Amino acid sequence: MTENPQNAQQASSGAPGQPVPGHPGKIIAVHVDYESRAAQRGRKPAVPSYFLKPASSLGGSGAAVERPAGTELLAFEGEIALVIGTPAKNVSLEDAWSHVASVTAANDWGLYDLRAADKGSNLRNKGRDGYTSLGPSLIDAREISPEQLRVRTWRNGELVQEDTTAAENMIFPLAQLVADLSQHLTLEEGDVILTGTPAGSSVAQPGDVVEIEVDAPEVAGAPSSGRLISHVTEGDESFDEGLGAMPAVDDKQREEAWGSREAAGLPDSDAAALPEALRAKLEKAPTAGLSAELRKRGLNNVVIEGVYPQTPGTTMVGTARTLRFVPNREDLFTSHGGGYNVQKQVFDAVGPGEVIVIEARGAAGSGTLGDILALRAKFNGAAGVVSDGGVRDYAAVAEIGLPVFAQTAHPAVLGRRHVPWDQDVAVACGNATVLPGDVIVGDDDGVIVIPRELAEDVVDAALAKEHEDAWVAERVAEGNPVKGLFPPTGQWKEEFQQWLAEHPASDD
């Protein structure tokens, strides 16, 4: 996004308000609250979720923000910060905004290299010194309504984030955050609530300058926080691996930190998952042969047990997109089972060539998908679905033509046995551990899981063995005994090697 320089200068000269408090008692941040951010991430929360940031993470405008030595994914997040004016405990939605004294700009910095270290709490990746930039000035909350705010972010002068708090843009209204939090703890004077970032958050490099402004352009006088300016620097101290978690990144973290695979310089997700040549080889290789090769490499627990193709003769090759169900508990199904739950999000977001692998704990007493979700996955180009639970609308799902491997048919709805709980995590499906991105191959013998880094080696070896077995089968069909022939040894081995020189496996 770009902006007229004259407009940018006018925006930066908005009338300043009061100085920002220097030491809030609590800093509470919302994980996701903008529709644009949820759409970018492919998952939308059903209820607000939060994490705490230490007061020591506070930094002001003009300050340096350090990317530690040996890390690469320091991401900025332009946000609107609410500053509590009067204590709020069990306040109503209608009364909540009256407890907000002022609004300002915030940058909720995060180091994705340490994101996995404290999943959910974000302590190490977002709690570092200076990782909550705030200011430079306050907007009086009495001058505005919570639906009139705008947040914008510039990186090196280029506008990269812009969104408003209009009702259609927010998942949870700002006042709802105050009311919800007040149900669980007392919000005290000076506490700060960071209200989430819109789409456009990305990675900043040492030397970058990131600026954020919150304003209310439709309000008389266009009150503004002014520009919150941060200078990104490179640290010179590394972490001690003997003390705790070390920085670690993968392509998934790079994609989420930068905002997209393209922005991160990564290849297209489908191409990155399975190159076409590898996919073609996997489609020719039987699961029995692949399983044997994995066993030779010490991997015995890679078969998803108890699942069968809906339609005999079905084959399936793709990369895993995981979905986890937990056992049904009525209160949890009320909070997580309805609306746009994680099950629907996964079927909406599945990409071409991906296989949705569902952890249903082997509980076949309800469906884990039905015809509508199968239609959605088929339209998206999914390679198939594997579930160690049941399938509703069994005949209709089979007619759709999406490869589905499951235990059995079952007419009951999801909530009889399951609560949709999480996605893109390690799952246990049919007693096999499946990670997002693992290679999934299915045929009439069942489904196996191949670590991505082994796929090329394993399939080449399996196809070579298939080539050998085809020759052996011909000899057995001629009436020869299997002793010394299966596998070939001695004279049989010499004859096979001579035949192989004339009929290489690549000719198949």
**Confidence label for 241 from pLDDT (cuts 50, 70 and 90):** confident
The CATH number of the domain where 403 resides is what?
3.50.30.40
Is 278 annotated to bind a ligand? Reply is no
Q: Does residue 277 form part of some domain?
A: no
Is residue 332 annotated as involved in ligand binding?
no
User: Any known ligand binding at 371?
Assistant: yes
pLDDT tens figures, 19-32: 576 689 999 999 99
| Whether the predicted pLDDT of 405 surpasses 60 | yes
- 413 has a pLDDT exceeding 90: no
Structure tokens at 166: 């209009």
- Going by C-beta distance under 8 Å and a sequence separation of 6 or more, which residues neighbour residue 363? 327, 389, 417, 418
pLDDT in tens, 192-228: 999 999 999 999 999 999 999 999 999 999 999 999 9
In a domain, 360, yes or no: yes
Whether 60 has a pLDDT exceeding 60, the answer reads yes
DSSP alpha helix (H) spans, 52-134: 93-96, 123-126
Q: CB atoms < 10 A from the CB of 5, how many?
A: 9
Residues 444 and 405 in one domain: yes
Residue 272 lies in a domain: no
Q: What is the mean pLDDT of the chain?
A: 90
- Model pLDDT, residue 77: 98
Q: What is the pLDDT of residue 39?
A: 87
502 versus 311: which is more confidently predicted?
Answer: 311
Residues 379 and 407 in one domain: yes
Q: How many CB atoms lie within 10 A of CB 293?
A: 21
* Residue 466: domain span: 456-507
Mean pLDDT for the stretch of residues 236-252? 86
Q: Are residues 238 and 317 in the same domain?
A: no
| Residue with more model confidence, 42 or 340 | 340
Query: Are 167 and 313 part of one and the same domain?
Result: no
270 annotated to a ligand binding site? no
- DSSP letter string, 205-224: -TT-EEEEEEE-TTSTT--B
pLDDT class of 272 with cuts at 50, 70, 90: very low
The verdict on whether residue 254 carries a ligand-binding annotation is no
Q: Residue 409 in 3-state DSSP?
A: strand
Q: What's the rounded mean pLDDT across residues 79-101? A: 97
Q: Are residues 108 and 158 in the same domain?
A: yes
pLDDT at 13: 31
pLDDT, tens digit (0-9, with 9 covering 90-100), for 254-263: 888 998 878 8
Whether 120 shows a pLDDT value over 50: the answer reads: yes
Q: What is the pLDDT of residue 348?
A: 87
pLDDT of residue 42: 74
CA angle 286, 291, 293 (to 5 degrees): 100
pLDDT given at position 506: 62
Could you report the per-residue pLDDT of 353-369, keeping only the tens digit for each?
999 999 999 998 899 99
283 lies in a domain?
A: no
For the cut 80, the answer to whether the pLDDT of residue 2 exceeds it is: no
33 with 74, same domain?
A: yes
Whether 265 is in a domain gets the answer no
Q: Clarify whether residues 476 and 348 are in a common domain.
A: no
Count how many domains the chain has.
Answer: 3
What is the SS3 assignment for 60? coil
Q: Answer whether residue 78 is part of any domain.
A: yes
pLDDT for 237? 86
105 vs 228: CA distance, rounded Å:
7
Question: How is residue 36 written in tokens?
Answer: 């644009």
> What per-residue confidence (pLDDT) applies to 269?
53
- What would the mean pLDDT of 371-397 be, rounded to a whole number? 94
Residue 392 falls in which region: left (phi positive, over 0), alpha (psi -120 to 50) or beta? beta
User: Tokens representing 238?
Assistant: 């590394």
Rounded mean pLDDT of 409-426? 89
pLDDT at residue 234 tops 90: yes
Q: How confident is the model at residue 267 (pLDDT cuts 50, 70, 90)?
A: low
The answer to whether residue 289 sits within a structural domain is no
- The band of 152, judged by pLDDT with boundaries at 50, 70 and 90, is very high
Residues 94-103 have pLDDT tens digits of 999 999 999 9
> Does residue 435 have a known ligand-binding role?
no
Q: 120 and 203 share a domain?
A: yes
Q: What is the mean pLDDT of residues 297-310?
A: 94
Q: Which phi and psi angles does 504 have, rounded to 5°?
A: -60, 150
